């Protein structure tokens, strides 16, 4: 077989002519590797064998007569069984089947004028393709993009799509990191989704899992024992070898994967899953390396890079010149945990270190993470590192996401665990706060459909092990640990668990008041000069009561400031009022511009909050105020005589 004169990527199958494909695989464990071209996916299909040439460093490569759509596998050391390409671009019959040659140039992009996305001023929408629509495909999902753009979403965050076994799953058990999940559609269907999003002004980022492989369908050990570090486990299995012996090709594999999604599918960045489980002591942390390579590939288009990190390591969003990893943002679980406690009173398991008090939300608005190195009693150790100086848009805030909705007995949405007024008030805080807000699919119209942990991975024993593991995880919550509750928990491998999570878009009309609430808030955030600003040190706050507080958004001369008054408790008349953040500049007064208690949203109606005589905060409400010229001269204090 011939060597290729040039390749775009160091691994995988690449067309080098209309009917010629070059193959390259890292297989240091092998003495020899044969390319197996297959006429079809049938067991008795005709096959032809082509020995690959050995290269230095454990690579094997060569070209063969094969065009787009050709099916192939590799044979290692003349073994009886054949295996898919570790860098397969498509697995039409799943991870256990044949790999498929893909021609990425067949799709005709229309987004040449798309310039990418910046982190500031974005609204993120987390989507699971399999449950976003009844069909569970990219083509069906793309038909809903115009509505997401209309209501003010700017970034779609797609849950993982690397191919995995079975008919349904969250995607975090992927095993073919270059192959889009075959049941969602073809690679070109995915390209069409991204292209359509760009035409509507929507960015699309991909959730990638670089901390483990799924338990079924991973054939990497056939080619090398160096992909994983057996003695260093994560919560999901063996750790990836990013810094051990023979780790350079492993790092290359992941850096190439990042480049590939950006270049061939025009993704606008990544959300890196569970980076606290990505162990790497190299001089250049692998997540930062992937991100920098992705940015270089995208240039001049800009992309965004977001990390999930349970340990809350702030260096992820520091520049490399300061010892950081050059990412743009991190998920802020602290905000979520405080919000859940404030909405539900639920203080158990990982909520136990949160009070849901006004000061927690003020601190989140000013500093991002709440835990930046203090003792964290739930884990019996300090949590977090200092994040002072990080811009507000670097913290992604949410009250729902895939994990947190599912971490209830039946994947129940948060609105059903609180009062309507308090939920509306919290939604307003989420969408008008200085952070970057994230909505989970269906949240915008008050979806009643649950989101349950579901997976079709493996055989009977594996499924039972996953069920026990999942139920054991939920047992950290005492309310979910009882025998009665455990017996009622949805079984992850039950198809009805998956089907029950599919959104019902008719709820946009059925829950019109909640939909209007979200649409109006997104418009206010987008159009208001202060709420859209997200400037560093631009917000201060003060506690007004046991369940109430105010955030003040400052302008240059304080004459265009905004107030966000939040009350999760009973109606309050503020008397006395020794809080300077409530004071308007001379010649100006506060005027209500929005209230979560508007009858439009099912509330009791908008009442006046601030007058020259008093301040009254409605119960379970959030109210936004702006400065306007005084309608009548300001009252003068009555003189008080001594003696």
DSSP string, 338-405: HHHHHHH----GGGTT----HHHHHHHHHHS-S-SSEEETTTTEEE----TT--GGGEEE-S--HHHH
Residue tagged 């508007």 (tokens): 598
Please report the pLDDT score of residue 237 as a whole number: 67
Instruction: Please check whether residue 138 is in contact with residue 127, taking contact to mean a CB–CB distance below 8 angstroms.
Output: no
The DSSP bridge partners found for residue 36 are: 49, 73
Please report the pLDDT score of residue 230 as a whole number: 67
Neighbours of 631 (CB within 10 A): 8
Q: Which of 85, 163, 268, 308 is catalytic?
A: 308
DSSP string, 307-328: E--TT--GGGGS-GGGT-----
284 is catalytic: no
Please report the pLDDT score of residue 592 as a whole number: 97
For 631, phi then psi, to 5°, come to -80, -25
Helix, strand or coil, per DSSP, at residue 16: strand
Please report the pLDDT score of residue 4 as a whole number: 47
What pTM was computed for the model?
A: 0.96
Neighbours of 376 (CB within 10 A): 18
509's CB contacts (< 8 A; 6+ apart) are none
- What the chain holds in terms of domains, given with CATH numbers, is 12-106 (2.60.40.10), 119-208+398-459+494-535 (3.20.20.80), 209-328 (no CATH), 538-629 (2.60.40.1180)
Please report the pLDDT score of residue 613 as a whole number: 87
Q: Which of 173, 176, 226, 273 is catalytic?
A: 273
Please report the pLDDT score of residue 236 as a whole number: 60
Instruction: Please check whether residue 99 is in contact with residue 71, taking contact to mean a CB–CB distance below 8 angstroms.
Output: yes
Mean pLDDT per 10-residue run, the chain (643 residues)? Answer: 71 96 97 95 86 97 97 97 97 97 97 97 98 98 98 98 96 96 98 98 98 92 91 70 96 98 98 96 97 98 98 97 97 98 95 97 98 96 96 98 92 96 98 98 98 89 86 86 86 94 98 98 97 97 98 96 98 94 96 97 92 93 97 83 63
Please report the pLDDT score of residue 233 as a whole number: 61
557 is catalytic: no
DSSP string, 256-310: HHHHHHHHHH---EEEETTGGG----SSS-HHHHHHHHHHHHHTTSB-EEEE--T
Please report the pLDDT score of residue 80 as a whole number: 92
Instruction: Please check whether residue 189 is in contact with residue 236, taking contact to mean a CB–CB distance below 8 angstroms.
Output: no
Please report the pLDDT score of residue 43 as a whole number: 75
């Amino acid at each position: 077989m011939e060597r290729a004169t040039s390749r775009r990527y160091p691994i995988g199958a690449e067309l080098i002519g209309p009917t010629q494909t070059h193959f390259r695989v890292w297989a240091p464990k092998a003495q020899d590797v044969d390319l197996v071209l297959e006429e079809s996916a049938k067991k008795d299909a005709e096959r032809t064998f082509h020995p690959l040439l050995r290269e230095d460093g454990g690579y094997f490569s060569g070209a063969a007569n094969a065009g787009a759509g050709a099916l192939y596998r590799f044979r290692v050391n003349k073994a009886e069984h054949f295996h898919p390409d570790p860098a397969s671009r498509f697995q039409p019959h799943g991870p256990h089947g044949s790999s498929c040659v893909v021609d990425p140039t067949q799709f005709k992009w229309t987004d040449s004028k798309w310039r990418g996305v910046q982190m500031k001023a974005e609204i993120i929408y987390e989507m699971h393709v399999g449950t976003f629509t009844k069909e569970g495909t990219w083509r069906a999902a793309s038909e809903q993009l115009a509505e997401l753009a209309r209501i003010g979403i700017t970034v779609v965050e797609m849950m993982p799509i690397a191919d995995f076994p079975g008919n349904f799953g969250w995607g975090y058990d992927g095993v073919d990191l270059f192959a889009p999940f075959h049941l969602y559609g073809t690679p070109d269907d995915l390209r069409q989704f991204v292209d359509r999003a760009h035409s509507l002004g929507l960015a699309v980022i991909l959730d990638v899992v670089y901390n483990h492989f799924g338990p079924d369908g991973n054939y990497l050990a056939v080619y090398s024992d160096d992909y994983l570090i057996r003695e260093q486990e994560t919560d999901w299995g063996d750790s990836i070898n990013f810094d051990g012996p023979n780790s350079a090709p492993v790092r290359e594999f992941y850096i190439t994967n990042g480049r590939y999604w950006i270049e061939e599918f025009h993704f606008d960045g990544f959300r890196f899953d569970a980076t606290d489980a990505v162990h790497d002591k190299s001089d250049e942390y692998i997540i930062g390396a992937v991100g920098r390579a992705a940015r270089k590939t995208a240039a001049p288009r800009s992309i965004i890079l977001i990390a999930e990190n349970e340990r809350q390591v702030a260096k992820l969003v520091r520049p490399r010149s300061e010892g950081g990893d050059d990412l743009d943002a991190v998920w802020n679980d602290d905000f979520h945990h405080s919000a859940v406690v404030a909405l539900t009173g639920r203080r158990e398991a990982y909520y136990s270190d949160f009070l849901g008090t006004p000061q927690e939300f003020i601190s989140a608005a000013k500093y991002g993470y709440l835990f930046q190195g203090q003792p964290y009693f739930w884990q019996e150790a300090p949590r977090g590192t200092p994040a002072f100086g990080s811009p507000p848009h670097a913290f992604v805030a949410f009250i729902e996401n895939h994990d947190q909705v599912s971490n209830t007995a039946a994947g129940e949405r948060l609105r059903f665990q609180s009062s309507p007024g308090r939920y509306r008030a919290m939604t307003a805080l989420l969408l008008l706060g200085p952070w970057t807000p994230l909505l989970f699919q269906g949240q915008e119209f008050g979806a009643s459909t649950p989101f349950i942990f579901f997976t079709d991975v493996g055989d009977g024993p594996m499924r039972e092990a996953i069920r026990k593991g999942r139920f054991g995880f939920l047992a950290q919550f005492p309310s979910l640990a009882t025998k009665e509750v455990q017996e009622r928990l949805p079984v992850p491998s039950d198809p009805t668990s998956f089907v029950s999570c599919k959104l019902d878009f008719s709820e946009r009309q059925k829950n019109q008041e909640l939909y209007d609430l979200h649409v109006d808030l997104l418009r206010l955030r987008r159009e208001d000069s202060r709420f859209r600003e997200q400037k560093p040190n631009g917000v201060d706050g003060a506690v007004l009561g046991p369940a109430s507080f105010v955030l003040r958004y400052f302008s240059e001369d304080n004459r265009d400031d905004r107030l966000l008054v939040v009350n999760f408790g009973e109606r309050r008349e503020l008397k006395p009022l020794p809080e300077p953040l409530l004071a308007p500049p001379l010649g100006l007064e506060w005027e209500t511009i929005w209230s979560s208690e508007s009858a439009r949203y099912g509330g009791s109606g908008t009442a006046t909050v601030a007058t020259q005589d008093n301040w009254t905060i409605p119960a379970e409400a959030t109210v936004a105020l702006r400065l306007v010229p005084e309608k009548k001269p300001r009252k003068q204090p009555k003189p008080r005589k001594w003696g």
